[in-house]
Amino acid sequence: FNAHNGLFFMAGEMIAYAEGRFEENITMQLYHFSNYGQSPELDYFQLPARVFNFLRHAYQRQFKSAWREIVLSGYQKVNWENVESEDDYKNRQNLVYEFLLDGRSILPFFLNRKGRKARGNWELISHYLKEVHRMDAARLETIKRVGDLIAESIRKSERDRRLRQLESAKNYRDCRNILRFVIRERIAQGEPEPLFSLDEYVNHLFPEMTGDFTQWTETRDLLVFRIYEKLHDWLREKGFVEEVDEDEEIDQQTPQPS
């Protein structure tokens, strides 16, 4: 029995039972007793209200399929080719569940990098960031708008070069330089609108946190997510997406937050 997975299963059952009761802030607590022939052990797990509130959105009909795909991508050491039922993997370690309980970001799991496809849509990822991480709505809107403009610039260039660079950016300097290249290309394309203002760059794209730490990885992943959402079909038509089957899309290398 995997206690983490069991807690989220029970949350799903509660959400189905109390469907539509969004006004209630529910915190779930699980006490897990175990005794494997040694000393008795007691583990305690808590599902915060903000995570439960997000799950209410994720289990809605329009998001349920995408959320299932996100959850499946978090299971570890599963040979999906041999899976016959949920019993074959339901007690395996799931990093999506563990990260939600630990307060770590699950943003990378929203990205199918191999298939260059967004898991879910902007509405679902916005619910996650606003409910769980209390992200400012203005920051989300700025990143969405900038992602749309970058996607359009990539489409006009007829190349996926900037997307490949953004996907592989390893640090803030790389990410900043890629945006600078996009600005130059947009000027060459005759675009009159700036990619972003100085205030948007400082306050929304790369707000300073503590010391030298910035939220650049979060911004990068959200930009990539939005570009995937806008350009996935175009990327496939142009041959910029590797053909993979459904099992391969799930059984890809697990994303690790930076």
Residues 218, 237: Cα–Cα separation, whole Å: 28
Pairing, β 111-112 against β 41-47: unpaired
The pLDDT value recorded for residue 242 is 81
Which residues of the chain are under the pLDDT cut of 50?
A: 211-212, 253, 256-258
Sequence-distant (6+) residues with CB within 8 A of 56 are 15, 22
The pLDDT value recorded for residue 249 is 56
Asked if residues 129 and 140 have their Cβ atoms less than 8 Å apart, the reply is yes
The pLDDT value recorded for residue 94 is 96
The pLDDT value recorded for residue 224 is 98
Specify which residues 33 forms β-bridges with.
42
Q: What phi and psi, each to the nearest 5 degrees, are found at residue 41?
A: -125, 150
Q: Please write down the HEC assignment for all residues of 70-106.
A: HHHHCECCCCHHHCCCHHHCCCCCEHHHHHHHHCCCC
Residues 244, 36: Cα–Cα separation, whole Å: 42
The pLDDT value recorded for residue 212 is 47
Q: Please write down the HEC assignment for all residues of the chain.
A: CCHHHHHHHHHHHHHHHCCCCCCCCCCEEEEEEECCCCCCEEEEEEECHHHHHHHHHHCCHHHHHHHHHHHHHCECCCCHHHCCCHHHCCCCCEHHHHHHHHCCCCHHHHEECCCCEECCCHHHHHHHHHHHCCCCHHHHHHHHHHHHHHHHHHHHHCCCHHHHHHHCCCCHHHHHHHHHHHHHHHHHCCCCCCCCCHHHHHHHHCCECCCCCECHHHHHHHHHHHHHHHHHHHHHHCCCCCCCCHHHHHCCCCCCCC
Residues 224, 231: Cα–Cα separation, whole Å: 10
Q: pLDDT of 142-190, one tens digit each?
A: 999 999 999 999 999 999 999 999 999 999 999 999 999 999 999 999 9
Please name which of 55, 33, 44, 43 lies closest in space to residue 100, comparing C-alpha atoms: 55
Residues 84, 95: Cα–Cα separation, whole Å: 22
